[in-house]
Amino acid sequence: MTSLNPKKILLVHPLGYRAEAAGKDVSRLANIMPPLGLASIAAFLEKKGIDAAIIDSFAHPDSAFRIRDFLLSEKPSFIGLSCTTSSFLDGVLTAEQAKKTLPGIKTVFGGPHVSALKNQVLEDFPIIDFLVVGEGELTLADLIECEGRNLDPVKGIVYRGDENKVCFSGHRSERIDLDSLPFPAYEKLAGYPDTYKLPIFNYPKTPNTSCISSRGCPYACSYCDRSVFRRSFRYNSAEYLYQHLTYLKDRFGIKHINFYDDQFTFNRKRIDAFTKKLIDHPLDMTFNCAARAEHIDSELLRQMKSAGCWMISLGIETGDETLLKMHRQNADLQLLEEKIRLIHQAGIRTKGLLMMGLPGETEASIQKSMDYVFSLPIDDFNLAKFTPFPGSPVYEKIHEKGTFDEDWEKMDCMHFVFVPNGMTKERIEKLFYNFYQAHFMRPKVIFGYIAMLWRSPDSWIRFLKNLAGFFNFIRHRNRHGNAGQ
């Protein structure tokens, strides 16, 4: 058997579907986010003396040959794949090819999908050797240090024990101090930062990137999977955050950051200190973030604007308060409206995040969502197709709430795999198309996008370059819509 390097791992971010389809996927072209989790793990492993490389197949769909060549030349003992539900089966195919290319290599899977399903994954997919449940840094380091053999001390893994019995070693008791982590190994991402793209019209300047300054969420909404971080919520200090941005600017020339945190403003003291530092010691950078209505106020918004805040995203989910109360804590659409207007008054762009097809959704609730959203000064919005992910509270009894086709490859918020009781797939597709069409036909929205010619000129360049793809996307939506008439 080929001798493998025990202190070397290849980390892979799977594409999730056929490589030849990637160039036609408008949703992918419009938003290619760096795999920050893998970059963080790679930086941590390097600090521990473990050689970690990254191949991002989502950003580079033609990566199959790169993976094979790396395995043959570097001979790592492990290949690690971080998967969502929709990319998991593609990850399995990658693992199968890795075993054929380099017999003896150990396959390790992590991410929300396997953290939610745990033992079931190893029982159903013998090609997988280990699962990392929860955060990856400490657990993966321990697994590589013991070379995948003496597993008794390693917490946070699913593995095959005596007589091939699938075992879960239990959750780690300690939680990593985020300020103790090195900055993610962005330099290991081929083509960074130019390969990676924020959603069009969601940034003013390039180059730009995403950044995560916290882990977890203190809330427990029905539709959110908390399998990785569970109910914990931790965040970097204001000082660490400022140093992180300074590093991104000095090393890569980054001009705009999208903070990919669930609750960026939850700790007001942290954001107050961070924004004051940006005001007192400017970096000439702008940023986006996500927030909940409960954790913003007019004073903080004015300060965030002065510090460079360009856009805030808020999870509206639905404009039907009765439906919202079924799925979310502190459902208060009046408060949300007040805070959206405060954001607008502060001169910050607002993006509304909504879902269609939640359990309990009706045509009346969809109309309420349209009426609510269109009454607000929202500059942009994203309407996702509700998907019941493993690990979310609603997943456990989802079959009682409607029709659920658990096709993992389609569980990406771009397909109606779940249809609520009382509705049909054809009709909800039609209503989804109508919602988007009504939004983009409004004069204020049209003028807002025209204004992006000078506020975000790179977005218009990207839009025009991929115009054919966008029109194909619209025609595809139109066919679905007409089918429901």
Q: Tens digits of per-residue pLDDT, 384-425? A: 999 999 999 999 999 999 999 999 999 999 999 999 999 999
What's the pLDDT score for residue 230? 67
What's the pLDDT score for residue 221? 86
What's the pLDDT score for residue 20? 66
Q: Is residue 132 scored above 50 in pLDDT? A: yes
Name the CATH superfamily, with its identifier, for domain 198-483: tm_1862 like domain (3.80.30.20)
| Positions of CATH 3.40.50.280 in the chain | 5-168
| Positions of CATH 3.80.30.20 in the chain | 198-483
Mean of pLDDT values over 462-474: 68
Q: Tens digits of per-residue pLDDT, 314-347? A: 999 999 999 999 998 888 999 999 999 999 999 9
What's the pLDDT score for residue 23? 63
Looking at the domain that runs over 5-168, which CATH code has it been given?
Answer: 3.40.50.280
pLDDT tier, 278 (very low <50, low <70, confident <90, very high otherwise):
very high
Tell how strand 349-356 and strand 380-385 pair up: parallel
Mean of pLDDT values over 282-299: 96
Q: Is residue 369 scored above 90 in pLDDT? A: yes
Mean of pLDDT values over 32-55: 97
Q: Tens digits of per-residue pLDDT, 371-394? A: 999 999 999 999 999 999 999 999
Q: Tens digits of per-residue pLDDT, 60-77? A: 999 999 999 999 999 999
Mean of pLDDT values over 285-291: 97
